[in-house]
Amino acid sequence: MKTQTKFFAKWAAFALVPAVGVPLLRSMGIVNDYYHQVLMMIGVNAVLSVSLGLVNGFSGQFSLGHAGFMGIGAYIAAVLTSKAAALPFLPATIIGGLAAGVVGYGVGIPAFQVRGDYLAVITLALNMIVVNLAQNINYVGGPRGFPGIIPFTNFPWIWLWLVLCIVVIRNLIFSGHGRAIMSIRENEVAAQLGGIDVQKYKLVAFSIACFFAGVAGSLSAHMLQFIAPQNFNIFKTFDILVMVYLGGSGSISGCLLGAIIWTAMLEALRDLGVWRLVVGPILLIVLMVFRQKGLFGAREFSFVRGEQP
């Protein structure tokens, strides 16, 4: 019981200290606007990478369209708060996430009917569809983008969504359902013949991941106050994939770390201009040669894992 209280206290601290501390430090002038912005970007990217890690890392499927789902959430939430209606931030974000989740579910049904890499092809196609749709719908600005989104996003919002994302995925993974999700990655045939509804669990993992991608889209739209179709193209998807594999795809902590390192590194290398887009991939190659499982492998921070058997 005592360890449980301690564990809970650690989580409460993890959730609350940054949510309160960062705005406090900012008001004191210790964290300047630039660092604050970087912190927010790290948070949004962390939601994206942790959620993608559920699919590509834990369930062993390969989604290639995470930015597409992010775009769905971003556009829908932005329209709801700043254009068609004046919805508050929270419901708009949830609706954006749900929309992405439902699309993910719909895409997942045919994709998971067959074994193999169909999910990659279908999600890649979906990503292109989302970008092209956004480019061709004049109501949301078409290729010019969608300006004037109310700047609802602040650090506490991002942080609380990130904590929620981590808690949901952690509690799912360390449960009987999570075991089933990982068994698909380990040996799909054995899982199926062992009485596990493989298709159901692939859909569960994928839909939850898409939901959080949509949420991250809304957070990012209300942070940047402007979204354009190319923000959600395949390059953004690659960015998220890099974060996942950099940190370690089979670990929540790894995905988290990947988002932090990758985002901070791209910022730190800003002086290099276009060359930073060369440094990053080289780093990735080096990592894949010397440490295929990513920096963290399948390990977890102790506060993420907790008292698991």
Partner 1 sequence: MSALLQIEDMSHAFGGVVAVKDFTLSVEEHEIVGLIGPNGAGKTTVFNLITGVYRPRQGTLRFNGSSLLGLPPHLIARKGIARTFQTIRLYGDLSVLDNVSLGSHSLVTYGLMAAILRLPVFHRTEEAIRKRALALLEMFGLLEYAGVPANALPYGLQRRLEMCRALASRPRMVLLDEPAAGMNPREVQEMVELIRWMHNEFSLTTVLIEHHMQLVMEVCPRILAMDFGQVIAEGPPEYIQSHPRVVQAYLGTEEAV
Residues interacting with partner 1, by CB under 8 A? 167-168, 171-172, 175-180, 182-183, 186-187, 189-198, 204, 250, 298, 309
What CA dihedral angle connects 159, 176, 99 and 124, to 10 degrees?
A: 100
State which residue, 113 or 138, has the beta carbon closest to partner 1: 113
State which residue, 129 or 298, has the beta carbon closest to partner 1: 298
Residue with tokens 């890099």: 242
DSSP at 1: -
Residue 46's Cβ-count burial label (10 Å; 0-12, 13-18, 19+) is buried
Query: 210: helix, coil or strand?
Result: helix
Q: Tokens in use for 130?
A: 């989302």
Shortest spacing between CB 97 and partner 1, in angstroms: 15
Q: Tokens in use for 100?
A: 């992405």
What gap in Å lies between CA 229 and CA 67, rounded to an integer? 10
State which residue, 103 or 203, has the beta carbon closest to partner 1: 203
State which residue, 26 or 185, has the beta carbon closest to partner 1: 185
State which residue, 177 or 276, has the beta carbon closest to partner 1: 177
Query: 227: helix, coil or strand?
Result: strand
Hey, CA dihedral for 38, 40, 218, 72, is it positive or negative? positive
Shortest spacing between CB 152 and partner 1, in angstroms: 26
Shortest spacing between CB 199 and partner 1, in angstroms: 8
Contact, 159 vs 22, CB < 8 A? yes
Shortest spacing between CB 196 and partner 1, in angstroms: 5
Contact, 209 vs 217, CB < 8 A? no
What gap in Å lies between CA 166 and CA 51, rounded to an integer? 8
State which residue, 61 or 153, has the beta carbon closest to partner 1: 61
Shortest spacing between CB 174 and partner 1, in angstroms: 8
Shortest spacing between CB 298 and partner 1, in angstroms: 7
Residue type, 159: W
In DSSP terms, which residues pair with 227 in a beta bridge?
146
What gap in Å lies between CA 96 and CA 78, rounded to an integer? 9
State which residue, 75 or 201, has the beta carbon closest to partner 1: 201
Shortest spacing between CB 204 and partner 1, in angstroms: 7
What gap in Å lies between CA 187 and CA 139, rounded to an integer? 46
Contact, 155 vs 19, CB < 8 A? yes
Residue 116's Cβ-count burial label (10 Å; 0-12, 13-18, 19+) is exposed
Shortest spacing between CB 8 and partner 1, in angstroms: 11
State which residue, 74 or 169, has the beta carbon closest to partner 1: 169
State which residue, 189 or 274, has the beta carbon closest to partner 1: 189
Shortest spacing between CB 211 and partner 1, in angstroms: 12
